[in-house]
Amino acid sequence: MHLGDTRLLIEAGREHGLLRNQMAYVLATAYHEIARTMKPINEMGMHRR
């Protein structure tokens, strides 16, 4: 993830009225859900076909 990406995410959070702690929660959840890569991944769940 590049600094420019971080700035875009922060700006998007501001545009949606998120507080700093809310944005931190959003980013932490996304980081966990995408296998700690901050890049798109293929789903690995049990319902995968």
Euclidean distance between CA atoms 43 and 16, whole angstroms: 27
Confidence band of 16 (pLDDT split at 50, 70, 90): very high
pLDDT digits (tens, 9 = 90+) for 6-15: 788 888 999 9
* pLDDT exceeds 60 at position 22: yes
Confidence band of 42 (pLDDT split at 50, 70, 90): confident
Q: How far is CA 18 from the centre of its chain?
A: 14
Euclidean distance between CA atoms 9 and 47, whole angstroms: 30
- Decide if 18 contacts 26 (C-beta within 8 A): yes
Please give the pLDDT value at position 47: 66
Residue positions counted in the chain: 49
The pTM score is: 0.59
